[in-house]
Structure 1
């Protein structure tokens, strides 16, 4: 487990912010690392979807 990841039992708001930050980082990576552009876009989208799902709860 990453040091940056919240504990499994963290409140949903903590997980939502984690996924939002993760999505933002992957979006930036997609712009600068063209060799991993599509992979980084996938992870950015996944993080954004997870954050949105948690926001709806």
Structure 2
């Protein structure tokens, strides 16, 4: 059984461990940011001491995912 992150520190460590290589496809980065948003949201319900900071990271990752999705869409429409 995988140990799910329980704290802000755990969540950051998990995100770092899963981070794609810089040259990874945009779709891989999109999956990464979406997964991070879900993870930070789940951890925000457990680590109540860092709830607001975790919610900041949810928004950050959602914005990154939206930006990546827009870049993918723009790249697809210009092909």
1:5-51 alpha-carbon deviations (Å, 9 max, x no partner) = 10000011100100000010000111111100001000011001000
Cα RMSD, aligned residues only:
0.8
- TM-score, normalised to structure 2, is 0.68
For these two proteins, the number of residue pairs brought into alignment is 56
Unaligned runs of 5+ residues in structure 1 are none
Instruction: Identify which of structures 1 and 2 has the higher relative contact order when contacts are C-alpha pairs closer than 8 Å and 6+ apart.
Output: 1
In structure 2, the gaps of 5 or more residues are 1-15, 72-79
- Does residue 11 (structure 1) correspond to residue 30 (structure 2)? The answer is no
- List structure 1 runs of 4+ shifted beyond 6 angstroms: none
Q: Could you tell me the TM-score, scaled by structure 1's length?
A: 0.92
